[in-house]
Amino acid sequence: MALTDSIPNNVDLGSDKKLLRALEKWQPDFLSWWMEMGPEGFQADEIYLRTAVAVDPKGWANYEYVKMPDYRWGIFLTPREGERAIGFGDHRGEKSWNEVPGELRSILRRMIVTQADTEPASVEQQRLLGKTAPSMYDLRNLFQVNVEEGRHLWAMVHLLHQYFGKDGREEADALLTRRSGNPDTPRILQTFNEKTEDWLSFFMFTMFTDRDGKYQLASLSESGFDPLARATQFMLTEESFHLFTGETGVERVVQRSGELTMLDPNGDARAQGGIDLPTVQKWINFWFSSAVELFGGEISSNAADYFATGLKGRFREQEKYTDHLVLEGSYTVPVLSDEGRLSSKEVPLRNALNEVLRDEYVADCERACRKWNHTLKKTGAAFELYIPNRRFNRSMGTYAGRTFNPQGEPVTSAEFEAHRAAWLPTPEDRAYVASLMQPVHERGKVANWIAPPKQGVDGKPVDWEYVRFQG
């Protein structure tokens, strides 16, 4: 099969010989990376997967049984009608770029590579999870997320190959040689080097870390570099399923934990083989505090440059804002004195855009948490989950090297250490959660520590045969 047939696309691959050659060279390396670092086992099984096959909002995807190595990783750009103008920053109103402006070349390449690197990283982080899936439904969803992160890598590699020449090809190769968690060749961002070795972590990752991705992709989808805007816009359609997996996954754990707490005479969900709610809270604290770092420094000249040059806008820049220049206005950011006293100061708004994006993210996480608490309340368990303050457990930016409790109040490092085991997962907690991770691969069955899903995939029942195991 010719490459143009195996790669569904709307970028007219067949007519661009140079691009085609570059991708033909990269594809076998991608596949060997997938076999080495993608899901371990299950590569011969038939999975009921969604594949992006077009850009029509109503009919963009196809569901069918496919073996993962045969998945058709495609390249799609959201179509544009007519010309588009740059929507913000110093070039606002000028024609958007279809080629890389020379002076922005290296900064743009770095932005694309940083985004691209997270895609294979998450597949690597999740590669062993299939072995302990709590249900066939969850197993299928894990693989759906994995193949789509693979497609997101293709989307970014397409941009590197088409617009960045030799440098772009070298970056595309390097994306397949770094390895999550490897001290010698780590992935670029720290959260993507964390271990995701249990399913509670997987749900937290798709809830909190993938959600950072949503906000980054949405900001890039405003970009004045049109191919990047269009590629990321299409990626967002797939991304919403990843966030759904995380948010509902945590919700199902919370529900079951509440039920088991009520079932146990001493209110101890662990005694019933479940995950107790304080442990769920510790996982939230860990993953939220790790993901929130991804937005960058509170005061950032890089963020100001990205906005000024028209490369990265705000979340829903066109819908939500009327002033797209942001030359006036300020934002109150926190500052810490040498003694650790918290105060605030006004900075020009352009320098606070990381914090503006982080505000959107935090509000979204708090919305989800309210939903979890609503579900929890219905079980009768007297426990309330929270999203920790963004100052808690940070190692970058203003709060790095300082200690705060989950409510965001300054505490001494001795106080922090004294509470560490109550706030963050301990090795014992991790061992306990790991002990619950026994595979449930029979159709329609669900592990004891998680509630069944409310609905199946693609209108199918919950007990549908989402995976056809071969042999």
Residues that bind Fe ion (CB under 5 A): 119, 149, 152, 210, 239, 242
What is the nearest approach in angstroms of Fe ion to the Cβ of residue 153? Answer: 8
Q: Which residues pair with 346 in a beta bridge?
A: 332
Q: What is the CA radius of gyration of the chain?
A: 23
What is the nearest approach in angstroms of Fe ion to the Cβ of residue 213? Answer: 5
User: Which residues neighbour 106 within 8 Å (Cβ) at sequence distance 6 or greater?
Assistant: none
Closest by CA position to 136, among listed 457, 471, 459: 457
What is the nearest approach in angstroms of Fe ion to the Cβ of residue 341? Answer: 39
User: Which residues neighbour 121 within 8 Å (Cβ) at sequence distance 6 or greater?
Assistant: 178, 180, 187, 189, 192, 193
What is the nearest approach in angstroms of Fe ion to the Cβ of residue 210? Answer: 4
Note whether 457 and 141 are within 8 A (CB). Answer: yes
User: Which residues neighbour 273 within 8 Å (Cβ) at sequence distance 6 or greater?
Assistant: 260, 436, 448, 449
Name the residue nearer to Fe ion (CB basis): 247 or 429. 247
What is the nearest approach in angstroms of Fe ion to the Cβ of residue 180? Answer: 14
| Longest Cα–Cα distance in the chain | 69
- Angle at which helices 427-436 and 277-291 pack, to 10 degrees? 110
Name the residue nearer to Fe ion (CB basis): 288 or 392. 288
What is the nearest approach in angstroms of Fe ion to the Cβ of residue 401? Answer: 31
Structure tokens at 172: 């595309």
Name the residue nearer to Fe ion (CB basis): 145 or 269. 145
Name the residue nearer to Fe ion (CB basis): 260 or 368. 368
Name the residue nearer to Fe ion (CB basis): 96 or 125. 125
Name the residue nearer to Fe ion (CB basis): 119 or 124. 119
Buried-state track 359-396, b at ≥16 Cβ within 10 A, e below 16: ebbbebbeebbeebeeebeebebebebebbbbbbbbee
Name the residue nearer to Fe ion (CB basis): 130 or 297. 130
User: Which residues neighbour 72 within 8 Å (Cβ) at sequence distance 6 or greater?
Assistant: 6, 7, 8, 51, 53
What is the nearest approach in angstroms of Fe ion to the Cβ of residue 82? Answer: 29
